[in-house]
Amino acid sequence: MNSPGIEAARKLAHLGYRFQVTGSTIKARYKGTGEPNPAQVRPLLALVKEHKKEVLTYLNKPAPRERVLTCADCPHFEANHGPNPREGWGHCRKQNRGRYGVAMACKTILYTPAATERPV
């Protein structure tokens, strides 16, 4: 479970605040629409300040890599055997048509829970 400071930083980000870290300084700037509610924001900012060390570690952590699923990731894709079988031309058994392995995956794999569990 995250520390109260990290949870407060996440809530502030959800409200429209953006954080800038310079050394050991955290600056929070409001970039949302409308006006922030001071009664809601002050306690959250106090928690961020109180748990500054954990929040700095959290904010400095690199974001996870995004992964775009392709036809080659789908169990329905049959790659042709050649120099680049995953990237090259193949056949989709689900759609019964030819597809490039690097083409963006169709909805069949995008909404399959097992597809997101594959190693990067």
pLDDT at 120 over 70: no
pLDDT at 115 over 50: no
Identify the pLDDT of residue 101: 80
- Determine the Cα angle at 49 with ends 43 and 51, to 5°: 105
Mean local confidence (pLDDT), 19-48: 94
**DSSP state letter for 51:** T
What pLDDT digit, counting tens, does each position of 34-43 carry? Answer: 899 999 999 9
* Centroid of chain to Cα 38: 29
With beta carbons less than 8 A apart as the criterion, state whether 79 and 87 touch: no
Distance CA(3)–CA(56), nearest Å, equals 12
Amino acid at 115: A
Distance CA(120)–CA(7), nearest Å, equals 28
What pLDDT digit, counting tens, does each position of 59-70 carry? Answer: 999 877 777 778
Give the model's confidence band at 116: pLDDT under 50 very low, under 70 low, under 90 confident, else very high.
Answer: very low
Identify the pLDDT of residue 84: 66
Statement: the pTM of the whole predicted model exceeds 0.75: no
| Helical residues (DSSP H) of 1-120, grouped into ranges | 4-15, 38-50, 52-60, 107-110, 113-116
